[in-house]
Amino acid sequence: MLMGTRFDYICDIVPDLLDDGTPREFMPQAEYSNPRHLCLHRYGAGPFCRFRIPVDKTRGAGVYVVCVDDVVKYIGECEDLAKRFNEGYGTISPRNCFQGGRQTNCRVNMLILGRHKSGSKIRLHFHETRDRFALEERLIRGIRPGWNIG
């Protein structure tokens, strides 16, 4: 329960791991041809990790919450939870590392990687709602999660 709203536990977020148990790290920037000679944005240098959430957990539109060691760290809204995590945060597109790219995807991925490396437990929760924008705003204003900036 979060400010009177029930969230369902979806899964733990765990990066792809090497045989020794450390996260597999990626630097996708070199894969972008960069025809406009764009600079990396402030989160674009990486390193990044890859992770996926179960597709069968995909639901309608709603609000998601990322908790680290049971503390709310990030709140967001989406139309499709698995798509948002698997194609956005969990797989960093080379283009998103550069100016004009999706800085939030890079930032959240780096934060997840760093917290996993420090031994934290990262969990994803979701509340399905058509009123996702208003709920997201209310929760962010009320909780002020550390990973939500701006």
- Whole-number pLDDT of residue 56: 83
- Whole-number pLDDT of residue 37: 94
Residue 96 burial (CB count, 10 A): 23
Residue ranges and CATH numbers for the domains of the chain are 8-143 (3.40.1440)
- Whole-number pLDDT of residue 75: 98
Length in residues, the chain: 150
| pLDDT tens digit sequence for 63-106 | 999 999 999 999 999 999 999 999 999 999 999 999 999 999 99
- For 94, 121, 122, 123, 137, the CA distances from 70, given in Å and listed in that order, are 31, 8, 8, 8, 21
Percent share of the chain, pLDDT over 90: 93
Q: Is 14 left (phi over 0), alpha (psi -120 to 50) or beta?
A: beta
β-pair type (71-78, 62-68): antiparallel
Mean pLDDT of the chain: 95
| pLDDT tens digit sequence for 29-58 | 989 999 999 999 999 999 999 999 998 867
For residues 108-126, average pLDDT? 98
